[in-house]
């Protein structure tokens, strides 16, 4: 089916086609830098506060009592309205932007509202889309888990015994999740320069093994009370939408600190996410089966369908300070053993209260080859080889001034792409300690 | 020095003497269940919104522009004013309640304001004192770390190599921190009934090894920007105050899930804290040296003083469903290898942004004996022996209907106790899964 056309000029290769309609938070000079909900459409964004204020939602009377959600500085209130409302709003906005819109008076023929609410994207700035209550990072990319496990324990013992029985995860740091474009400062920390020394004596210095982790993030749109698990059959209803994520990782700090309670300072110095939240409805046509799990899983994790992940084409670019860009990975978002509904069901099974605005990370997404890996640790084979870059340059890990750009997009049909835009971060040099 | 007397009748054994003045959040029928900041004093609480509204702070003109902090449903805004303001407000309230108050017209001789703002404690209900951004749990109780490490690896390898070099910690779940009195539902989860089976196959059932962890919690009152560490010399200024904490732990779930990323569902079903935040000023007279660390630590963790923990007398009571109560532990809050300022300095050293309202847990506090242990796992020697209770009853771990009460108090002088009140939780039976 050819995608419906829009009266608005949308570039054919835009991630933000009429088939997408992702939500975010913007500021612009038009609104004196007030944070406002918005949707991205082609090279424009629709300021939903301005749109709602000027009767843009008058064609959707069911939303009338809820319009204040578009006057909030985050998407939490909109998300908390639940999936049926997200669906209605998205469909309505698709109609509003359609060439054959049933509401031409709303925006197509309303140049005053276009001027007030439809802003060129380059004149706006994006912000963290949600106030994040808790951030949990999972480890559902089995190829990554296998690759990294092999480095430490060999292929026969690469995966821990629990790995195929439950989606392994850990609590992350919510306060340091930042929106795409935020610069990331290289962390200082304790590292063990000579792991063979006895006794082991750590050094304190800037991280030498600064890495990326290519992940997908999932924002929640509902809350369950403490002590009341979210059943697997309902878990998909808790999903507001998805973002790209870069879980920056300090490998040398991690190696020294993580026993026995898991990663801490190795991760909490920054986690980048893309700015636009793509709704599950927009991704529904790109469902794909999870990776095959040979283990018989417990009933509380059993889904009705296997195609509960998405074939999102993911790419990672590394741009060196001299401006040369190399695509260092191309993989698929379907490279997961566990889906987000399974993660939600597991996370809450003991009674953990999940909340609107919570962020779940998938864990690093790697394929099984050499060019589809989600971390530099895997690309450089635990530091054993250089990653080849454009311009005769090489890297094992990130240098100061390096920029990492993750992109994700679904579909191949021009004019109907459903994409995430970019998740970008540039590395700043570490703080100089003088104490 | 004899404690100053109050015109208000304060029981001599009250944790909330004039020397304390801890802050919390209450509701009462007097204010139509609106959450309000308050201080506890003897058997009363002072409703700070009512007090501020009726010119109670007129004797403290420097606070005039900030009084709206007492109209908030959490203490975050008050905390964010910083330690010098907390100090002023505490001293002012101590004066207001003193027999020899310099402001008798404020409250002592003002029966109208007494009626409006000074409420019998039993007519009020306490709530979570802060909106918690992130919750981090440390592992600074070296006796506990040693005891538990010995169970798994023997005494020679009980402590991991990093333990004496850095305060080991992990990110916890903020959404499930609850105030004292909240009932705790026993979690369901995956456990390995037969750890020797090959392959290992988990069961799904209610936790069989439900435990406590006796801890202190520390709330922060300042924020540092991402990428800008809090130096050790400034870290104490980030502390708003302290609470008692019970980090409920599902040992069987933990054993199966925690490799390689740390505890997750074993902890996120609930963490209880006491309701009243005791300020560092109130505890200053009870400073004690940290436990001796033979390891030479890195400069970013070096404090000017060794007496950076507190000799808080801690007790744990277990009350069985038939009402029999046994004190199962008596220990001191000074049983820590690392202080909270060290935890803050370490937590932020890589650039992690800390925020007002963040909660840090000390880790389980145990002594070196048999009667001063902070977890049942230690008391029962990894399940090898029963813990003897009153009434010929025994426990290895908690049964449904058991109530655990933690108390903490400093000082022995009647009329001058600085205490935390109680941190109480009762175990409810697990959700019955039918899926």
- Each residue of B268-302: pLDDT tens digit? 999 999 999 999 999 999 999 999 999 999 999 99
Model confidence over A155-213: pLDDT tens digits? 999 999 999 999 999 999 999 999 999 999 999 999 999 999 999 999 999 999 999 99
Element (H, E) at B377: helix B376-379
- Between CA A57 and CA A36 the distance in angstroms is 16
**Minimal CA–CA distance to B89: which of B238, B285, B282, B355?**
B282
Residues of B in contact with A200 (CB under 8 A): 161-162
Mean per-residue pLDDT, B211-232:
98
Instruction: Answer with the residue of higher pLDDT: A238 or A152.
Output: A238
> What's the rounded Cα separation, in Å, for the pair A130 and A360?
13
Closest residue by Cα to residue B354 from B226, B172, B217: B226
CA distance A252 to chain B (A): 12
CA distance A189 to chain B (A): 6
- Domain boundaries along the sequence of chain A: 23-127, 135-428
In order, the DSSP letters of B182-212 are --EEPPEEEE-S-TT-SS---EEEE-S-EE-
Give per-residue burial for B383-401: e unless 16+ CB within 10 Å, then b. Answer: eeeebebeeebebbbbeee
Residue A3 pLDDT more than 60?
Answer: no
What integer pLDDT is reported at residue A166 of this predicted model? 98
3-class secondary-structure state, position A45: strand
Strands (E), A309-390: 309-310, 313-319, 325-332, 359-361, 387-388
> Is it the case that residue A110 has pLDDT exceeding 60?
yes
Pairing state between β A418-428 and A184-185 = parallel
| Greatest distance between any 2 Cα atoms in chain B | 77
pLDDT at A435: 54
Question: Which chain B positions have a beta carbon within 8 Å of A185's beta carbon?
Answer: 226-227, 351
Residues of B in contact with A139 (CB under 8 A): 261
Q: Cα–Cα–Cα angle for A335, A337, A343, nearest 5°?
A: 115
Options 3.30.470.20, 3.10.620.30, 3.30.420.40, 2.30.30.230; CATH for B23-127 is: 2.30.30.230
- Of the candidates A136, A146, A214, which has an alpha carbon nearest to the alpha carbon of residue A169? A136
Inter-chain touch B134–A189, beta carbons under 8 Å: no
Residues of B in contact with A350 (CB under 8 A): 187-189, 207, 250, 253, 265-266, 268-269
Q: In chain B, what percentage of residues exceed pLDDT 90?
A: 95
In A21-141, alpha helices (H): 48-53, 76-80, 83-97, 111-117
CB within 8 Å: B299 and A353: no
Query: What is the SS3 assignment for A194?
Result: coil
> Would you call B408 exposed, middle or buried from its count of C-beta atoms within 10 A (0-12, 13-18, 19+)?
buried
User: What does the alpha-carbon distance between residue A258 and residue A317 come to, in Å, rounded to a whole number?
Assistant: 28
Please tell me the predicted confidence (pLDDT) of residue B374: 98
Alpha-carbon span B339 to B238, nearest angstrom: 13
Q: Do A187 and B350 touch (CB under 8 A)?
A: yes
Q: Is the pLDDT of residue A239 over 50?
A: yes
Can you give the pLDDT at residue A433? 85
What span, in angstroms and rounded, lies between the C-alpha atoms of A280 and A271? Answer: 22
- CA dist A371 and A368 (Å) reads 9
Domain A23-127 and domain A135-428, same fold? Reply is no
Instruction: Could you list the beta-strand ranges (E) of B268-402.
Output: 271-273, 287-288, 309-310, 313-319, 325-332, 359-361, 387-388, 394-395
Taking CB atoms and an 8 Å limit, are A261 and B265 in contact across chains? no
Per the CB < 8 Å rule, is A435 touching B189? no
Mutation target among B189, B342, B350 for the A interface, most CBs of A within 10 A: B350
* Cross-chain residue pair B352–A161, CB shorter than 8 Å: no
What pLDDT band is residue B1 in, cutting at 50, 70 and 90? very low
> Among the options B86, B144, B236, B347, which is catalytic?
B144
Q: B208: distance to nearest CA of chain A, Å?
A: 13
Could you report the per-residue pLDDT of A48-83, keeping only the tens digit for each? 999 999 999 999 999 999 999 999 999 999 999 999
Quick check: A434 pLDDT over 80? no
User: Do B2 and B404 meet the contact criterion of CB atoms below 8 Å apart?
Assistant: no
The predicted-structure confidence for B246-265, as pLDDT tens digits, reads as follows: 999 999 999 999 999 999 99
Q: What is the mean pLDDT of chain B?
A: 96
| CA gap A345, A101 in Å, rounded | 40
Residues in a beta bridge with B418 = B16, B410
What pLDDT does A232 receive?
A: 97
DSSP assigned state of B410: E
What is chain B's length?
435
Q: What is the pLDDT of residues A253-287, one digit of tens each?
A: 999 999 999 999 999 999 999 999 999 999 999 99
Give me the pLDDT at residue A390, please: 95
Average confidence (pLDDT) over B155-170: 96
Q: Which residues of A are catalytic?
A: 144
DSSP string, B314-337: EEEEEE-TTS-EEEEEEEETT--S
Phi/psi-derived region of residue B154, left when phi > 0, alpha when psi is between -120 and 50, beta in every other case = left
The torsion angles phi and psi of A209, rounded to 5 degrees, stand at: -125, 65
Instruction: Work out the burial of residue A329: count CB atoms within 10 Å of its CB; fewer than 13 is exposed, 13-18 middle, 19 or more buried.
Output: buried
* Contact between chains at A300 and B270 (C-beta distance less than 8 A): no
The mean pLDDT value for A84-104 works out to 98
Residues of A in contact with B171 (CB under 8 A): 170-173, 264, 268
Q: What is the pLDDT of residue A152?
A: 83
HSE value, Cβ hemisphere, 13 Å, CA-based, for B405? 13
How open is the CA angle A243-A406-A10, to the nearest 5 degrees? 75
Most B-contacting residue of A171, A174, A270 (CB-CB within 10 A), to test interface: A171
Q: CA A258, CA B52: separation in Å to the nearest integer?
A: 47
At A278-308, the pLDDT tens digits run: 999 999 999 999 999 999 999 999 999 999 9
Q: What is the pLDDT of residue B166?
A: 98
Distance of alpha carbon A226 from alpha carbon B74, whole angstroms: 20
**Whole-number pLDDT of residue A1:** 45
Identify the pLDDT of residue B3.
56
Chain A nearest CA to B119, separation (Å)? 30
Are residues B7 and B109 in contact, defined by beta-carbon separation less than 8 angstroms?
no
Judge whether A31 and A47 are in contact, CB under 8 Å.
Answer: yes
Q: Which of A222, A171, A227, A224 is nearest to A351 (CA)?
A: A227
Q: Any idea which fold A135-428 has?
A: Fumarylacetoacetate hydrolase; domain 2 (3.90.850)
Burial-class residue A335 by CB neighbours within 10 Å (0-12, 13-18, 19+): buried
pLDDT value at B4 more than 80: no
**Residues A145, A57: Cα–Cα separation, whole Å:** 46
């Amino acid at each position: 089916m050819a995608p419906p056309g829009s009266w608005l000029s949308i570039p054919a290769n835009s991630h933000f086609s009429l088939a997408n309609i992702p939500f975010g938070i913007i500021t612009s000079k038009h609104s004196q830098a007030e944070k406002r909900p918005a949707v991205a459409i082609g090279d424009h964004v629709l300021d939903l506060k301005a749109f709602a204020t000027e009767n843009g939602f008058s064609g959707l009377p069911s939303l009338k009592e809820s319009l204040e959600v578009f006057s909030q500085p985050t998407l939490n209130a909109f998300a908390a309205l639940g999936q049926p409302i997200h669906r209605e709003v998205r469909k309505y906005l698709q109609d509003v932007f359609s060439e054959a819109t049933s509401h031409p008076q709303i925006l197509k023929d309303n140049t005053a509202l276009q001027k007030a609410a439809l802003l060129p994207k380059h004149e706006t700035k994006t912000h963290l889309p949600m106030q994040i209550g808790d951030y949990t990072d999972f480890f559902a990319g089995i190829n990554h888990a296998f690759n990294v496990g092999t480095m430490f324990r060999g292929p026969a013992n690469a995966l821990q015994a629990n790995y195929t029985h439950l989606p392994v995860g850990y609590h992350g740091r919510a306060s340091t999740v930042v929106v795409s474009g935020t610069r990331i400062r290289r962390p200082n920390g304790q590292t063990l320069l000579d792991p063979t020394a006895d006794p082991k004596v750590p050094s304190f210095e800037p991280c030498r093994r600064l890495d990326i982790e290519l992940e997908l993030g999932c924002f929640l749109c509902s809350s369950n009370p403490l002590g009341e698990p979210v059943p697997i059959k309902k878990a998909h209803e808790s999903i507001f939408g998805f973002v790209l994520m870069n879980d920056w990782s300090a490998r040398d700090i991690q190696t020294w600190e993580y026993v026995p309670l898991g990663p801490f300072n190795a991760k909490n110095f920054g986690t980048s996410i893309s700015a636009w939240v793509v709704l599950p409805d927009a991704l529904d046509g790109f469902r794909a089966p999870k990776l095959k799990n040979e283990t018989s899983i417990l009933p509380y994790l059993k889904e009705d369908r296997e195609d509960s992940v998405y074939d999102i084409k993911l790419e990672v670019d590394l741009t060196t300070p001299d401006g040369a860009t190399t695509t260092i990975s191309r993989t698929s978002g379907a490279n997961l053993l566990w889906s987000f509904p399974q993660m939600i069901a597991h996370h809450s099974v003991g009674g953990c209260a999940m909340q609107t605005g919570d962020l779940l990370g998938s864990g690093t997404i790697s394929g099984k080859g050499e060019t589809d890996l989600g971390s530099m640790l895997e690309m450089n084979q635990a530091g054993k080889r250089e990653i080849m870059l454009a311009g005769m340059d090489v890297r094992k890990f990130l240098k100061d001034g390096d920029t990492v750009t993750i992109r994700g997009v679904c579909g191949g049909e021009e004019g109907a792409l459903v994409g995430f835009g970019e998740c970008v971060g540039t590395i700043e040099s570490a703080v100089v300690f003088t104490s």
